[in-house]
Structure 1
Amino acid sequence: MPMRVTRILGLIAALLLALPAVAQMRGHGGPVRALAVTGDGRLAISGGFDQAAIVWGLETGAALSVLRFHDGAVNAVAALPDGRFASASEDGRIALWRLGQAEPDCVLAGHAGPVAGLAVSPDGTMLASAAWDGTARIWPLAGGPARTLEGHKGNVNAVAFLPDGRLVTAGADASVRIWTPQGETVLTATLPSALSALAVTTDGEIAAAGADATVRFLASDGQVRSEVELGPAPVIALAPAPDGTRIAAASAGGTVAMIERASGKILFTLVGPGLPVWSVAWRPDGSELVTGGGDRLVRRWNAATGEPIGPLAMPRPADALAAFHGERGAEVFRACVACHTLAPDDAPRAGPTLAGLFGRRIATVSGYRYSEALKGMDIVWTPETVARLFEVGPARFTPGTRMPEQTINSAEDRDALMRFLAKATERQPTGTPPTGPN
């Protein structure tokens, strides 16, 4: 490790020991999409929808470095064994950083779509990436060409390494795939719904979850050992405890469930970590969880009790759909709350606010960064165009979009959703909740 970096880390260590612990870290201008903790437990790196990555001192809550390079949300981060950090974005690029430097140490380019996940190999020599171009890639950290893994039918959302060096991927096609280090598919397991989260435990068991809010535990032969239903909101992120006994599951509903692997029981649920919870990571001694939420905060939690370390900075947000309880359209919309708000004064998420949706031209919400493909389209959002979007899927109706691929096959459900959106997205004065059912 370069002498300059060694000196910087020494100064950081002294600072961490001298200052009191804090519970929340504020610095991102948007939801905190990704989190990773260094092997010594002192530092964390977060990625946000504000296109920035931030390196934090966990004990002090100080932002030690703000890394700005990406042209899009930072969807994934990783702490590398050599002291560097990796950040990956919807711009399709992966940047490798050294602490104290304002520019990336190097940039890994090649993906043709947003990068959604990163993982470091057990021996620390490889970095794997999952992307919405339908591929995963294995990058040698010492340099050289990447190995491309093809086989998923749609977005690849998550990636992890098994202890023996094989790679696991999970995607929107509802499949979990295991690959050899050479990039050959060993097996494919198809689960009941689209997958967005993946984790591998120290003994090689695979946990996968996604749209149906169920965490499934798979053996390395692809057989499902057990299932844990969390419902009703989709699971966005999974993180295994360092000793492998528990799994933390974060959801779009604003909760983090602590699951005991052996029994399949939910031990407790974190209350108030920010709606939705986009990311979760463990400190290496297993004593704490770190979460990133839609409230733009990074938070610390006692992993044994589920209690926040220090007072919560904000109360848990109210359920935006409570006024529409019992409406079929509101239930259909629950799959959308991870990315879209209904009120103009709500904090931004992955997608633009839907306030004032009907009658609005595509790609015109002020302050939201749209893909270039959407800016050139001649579409006005109406009940007919939105229904068509979900009938054929975003990839066909709005090619080049960053919106996750999803369809609503039932015409009745599409109609119910349109009726709900007509009421819930009608522009209200700032601070006024949407009108409930008549």
Structure 2
Amino acid sequence: MTVRLPGRFSVFALATLAFIQLMFGVQGLLSPGIAQADLAGHGGPVNGLTISSDGKAVLTAGFDYSVILWDLESEEERHRLEGHDAAVNAVAFLPDGSKALSASDDQVVILWDLTAGTELRRYTGHQGKVVDLAVSADGRFAASASWDLTVRIWDLQAESDASEPVLLQHRAPVNAVAFLADKGLVVTGAADSTIRIWEAETGKLTQQMSAHDFGVSAISVAADGRHAVSSSADETLRYWDLETGDEIAVLRGHQGAVLAAAISQDGRLAASGGTDGKLRIWRLDSEFYSPQDVSHKGVVWSLAFTPEADVLISAGADALARVWRLDENGNQRTDGVQTTAAGAVAPDYADIPGAWQFRKCAICHSLTDDDEHKAGPSLHGVFGRRVGTLEGYSYSPALRDGDLIWDEESIDALFRLGPDVVTPGSKMPIQRIPKDEDRAELIEFLKRAAGYHNGTGAPTAPARDASGSTPGETGGVRSDGAPKRDADKTGARD
């Protein structure tokens, strides 16, 4: 998130420095905590998340341009919502849970039908990336916070697309927005270190507080509409009485910018996370505010409690939404709780180098030959198989009509260049593996765990034809680094 620095450092300069630190400076330095489940399905960092009012569903917003709707009990993906043209930063349920909103770097807010998994409406007008969302308790209004220095209040019941939103003008990029229960008020947090409270219907500013030493990165409000927490790059989480404007406590302990904040509906617990990879859980009803903390693998971008505060979910740069089950004191529960993560690798292959790289693939792809298809087709016998040809799976036209054959070179190119280059138009989320050794380990894992199209589990060596090609072989890469297509070679194709 952007923050304000004195002197020659600008808001956006710090954002750039923070991004470098987040993506490269923290990963691998901290061992992960023992989460009760990992919701693994995004092809990049998970930028935002929210939990439905009944605590049964979760929405996650991905750097891979997608939104995923999860069933929290089964930890399974219900819908993958695709419509944005850039990274998705924030999501929000409408009160009845049947619809939701998403906001993106593409400057657009989309309203979704979660039952059908389809787009209903677009809200446009922002002139910068939209980074946070909130919905009023009655479901009538939505608020979107943007780096264009505004918050826009949208009337979700307006029949005309031409209806003008209420505009809340700020002096700096706005990072956070929330409604105050049934009070008809909106609270915002901006990169100029301020927290402001506004009338939602009129846009009238009613209160302004100098909240932090640097910019406000997140705000979360309890169900009473009075108590809230805010986070900042000043390494603090602050606890507020919004009615009086008083700062109740400054909660310290992070060793870096705090990017995520959450407060439970009953105002008893708070959580914070940021660039130090620590997820801290605070007792707000304790005199000493002593934190309970666990290590999160990588930067924490977003946090949310279930309505009963028995579950906390965190989202971060490791492409996961992690599920933490809590006792009444905010401590992590371990009694009788299953700790196998979604996307776990079958035990027979868990010790093969590359199994860790396959962990995210496993949520969408199985390795079996029993017609088990997940979000993607089974990878059993993937080597030597032409794209779009596995029976029983509904491929996108781009792959159904494709001529690429999967082998070491084409799979390496897929994760080196990205699916948007190698398989454009496919449903595969944008993801890349930049390190040569990591891609090599993944390929070796797939060769052993998925096998070859001839069904032997090992490559065959058919005779080469007059052109020097093996039937079904792709034969290297083009001058632009992408794999050559099967149309350039001779021989039969499956």
TM-score tier (shorter): 0.5 to 0.7
- 2:206 and 2:136 mapped to 1: Cα distance? 18
**Does the 8 Å CA contact 1:95/1:104 hold for their aligned counterparts?**
yes
Q: 1:160 aligns with which of 172, 175, 178?
A: 178
Q: CA deviation at 1:63?
A: 0.8
**Does the 8 Å CA contact 1:135/1:148 hold for their aligned counterparts?**
no
Where does 1:5-20 land on structure 2 (aligned, <5 Å)? none
Per the alignment, residue 122 of structure 2 pairs with 107
Q: 2:61 aligns with which of 47, 54, 64?
A: 47
Render the CA deviation track for 1:329-350: whole Å, top value 9, x for unaligned: xxxxxxxxxxxxxxxxxx9xxx
Where does 1:316-395 land on structure 2 (aligned, <5 Å)? none
User: Which amino acid in structure 1 is aligned with residue 63 of structure 2?
Assistant: F
Q: 1:270 aligns with which of 294, 310, 316?
A: 294
Q: CA deviation at 1:269?
A: 0.8
**Does the 8 Å CA contact 1:47/1:54 hold for their aligned counterparts?**
yes
Q: Which has the higher contact order (CA 8 A, sep 6+)?
A: 2
Render the CA deviation track for 1:87-146: whole Å, top value 9, x for unaligned: 110111111111243531111111111111111112221111111100001111112534
User: Which amino acid in structure 1 is aligned with residue 154 of structure 2?
Assistant: W
Q: CA deviation at 1:188?
A: 1.2
Per the alignment, residue 183 of structure 1 pairs with 203
**Does the 8 Å CA contact 1:149/1:184 hold for their aligned counterparts?**
no
Q: CA deviation at 1:34?
A: 0.8
User: Which amino acid in structure 2 is aligned with residue 177 of structure 1?
Assistant: R
Per the alignment, residue 31 of structure 1 pairs with 45
Q: Indicate the SS of the match to 1:111.
A: coil
Is the counterpart of residue 229 in structure 1 residue 252 in structure 2? yes
- 2:114 and 2:82 mapped to 1: Cα distance? 13
Per the alignment, residue 88 of structure 1 pairs with 103
User: Which amino acid in structure 1 is aligned with residue 290 of structure 2?
Assistant: I
Q: 1:96–1:429: structure 2 CA closer, same or farther, 3 Å change rule? A: closer
- 2:249 and 2:50 mapped to 1: Cα distance? 27
Per the alignment, residue 207 of structure 1 pairs with 229
Q: CA deviation at 1:236?
A: 1.2
User: Which amino acid in structure 1 is aligned with residue 339 of structure 2?
Assistant: P
**Does the 8 Å CA contact 2:227/2:267 hold for their aligned counterparts?**
no
User: Which amino acid in structure 1 is aligned with residue 311 of structure 2?
Assistant: E
Q: 1:306 aligns with which of 332, 343, 349?
A: 332
Per the alignment, residue 120 of structure 1 pairs with 135
Q: 1:207–1:264: structure 2 CA closer, same or farther, 3 Å change rule? A: farther
Q: 1:86–1:244: structure 2 CA closer, same or farther, 3 Å change rule? A: same
Larger Rg: 2
Per the alignment, residue 58 of structure 1 pairs with 72
Give ranges in structure 1 of 5+ residues lacking alignment: 1-20, 315-346, 348-364, 370-426, 432-438
- 2:255 and 2:270 mapped to 1: Cα distance? 18
**Does the 8 Å CA contact 2:229/2:262 hold for their aligned counterparts?**
no
Q: TM-score, normalised by structure 2?
A: 0.58
Render the CA deviation track for 1:146-175: whole Å, top value 9, x for unaligned: 433344222100001112121000011111
- 2:64 and 2:263 mapped to 1: Cα distance? 27
**Does the 8 Å CA contact 1:136/1:149 hold for their aligned counterparts?**
yes
- 2:313 and 2:121 mapped to 1: Cα distance? 27
Render the CA deviation track for 1:392-435: whole Å, top value 9, x for unaligned: xxxxxxxxxxxxxxxxxxxxxxxxxxxxxxxxxxx99857xxxx
User: Which amino acid in structure 2 is aligned with residue 299 of structure 1?
Assistant: R
Per the alignment, residue 317 of structure 2 pairs with 294
- 2:218 and 2:193 mapped to 1: Cα distance? 11
- 2:164 and 2:263 mapped to 1: Cα distance? 27
Q: 1:195 aligns with which of 204, 208, 216?
A: 216
Q: Identical aligned pairs, as a percentage?
A: 34
Per the alignment, residue 148 of structure 1 pairs with 166
Q: CA deviation at 1:219?
A: 2.2
Please, which moves more after superposition, 188-197 or 48-57?
188-197
Render the CA deviation track for 1:177-215: whole Å, top value 9, x for unaligned: 110121111121113111111111233123211101101
Query: Root-mean-square deviation (CA), in Å?
Result: 2.6
Per the alignment, residue 248 of structure 1 pairs with 271
**Does the 8 Å CA contact 2:47/2:62 hold for their aligned counterparts?**
yes
Q: TM-score, normalised by structure 1?
A: 0.65
Is the counterpart of residue 216 in structure 1 residue 234 in structure 2? no
Q: 1:106–1:307: structure 2 CA closer, same or farther, 3 Å change rule? A: same
Is the counterpart of residue 171 in structure 1 residue 190 in structure 2? yes
Per the alignment, residue 98 of structure 1 pairs with 113
Q: CA deviation at 1:368?
A: 12
Q: CA deviation at 1:312?
A: 6.7
Render the CA deviation track for 1:298-354: whole Å, top value 9, x for unaligned: 22111222247533759xxxxxxxxxxxxxxxxxxxxxxxxxxxxxxxx9xxxxxxx
- 1:124 and 1:239 mapped to 2: Cα distance? 21
User: Which amino acid in structure 2 is aligned with residue 124 of structure 1?
Assistant: G
State the aligned residue count. 304
Q: Indicate the SS of the match to 1:265.
A: coil
Give ranges in structure 2 of 5+ residues lacking alignment: 1-34, 343-359, 361-415, 421-433, 439-494
Q: CA deviation at 1:264?
A: 5.4
Q: CA deviation at 1:282?
A: 1.4
- 2:418 and 2:151 mapped to 1: Cα distance? 32
Render the CA deviation track for 1:368-402: whole Å, top value 9, x for unaligned: 99xxxxxxxxxxxxxxxxxxxxxxxxxxxxxxxxx
Q: CA deviation at 1:46?
A: 0.4
- 1:146 and 1:157 mapped to 2: Cα distance? 22
- 2:56 and 2:221 mapped to 1: Cα distance? 23
**Does the 8 Å CA contact 1:235/1:251 hold for their aligned counterparts?**
yes
- 1:121 and 1:266 mapped to 2: Cα distance? 32
Is the counterpart of residue 78 in structure 1 residue 67 in structure 2? no
Q: 1:133–1:244: structure 2 CA closer, same or farther, 3 Å change rule? A: same
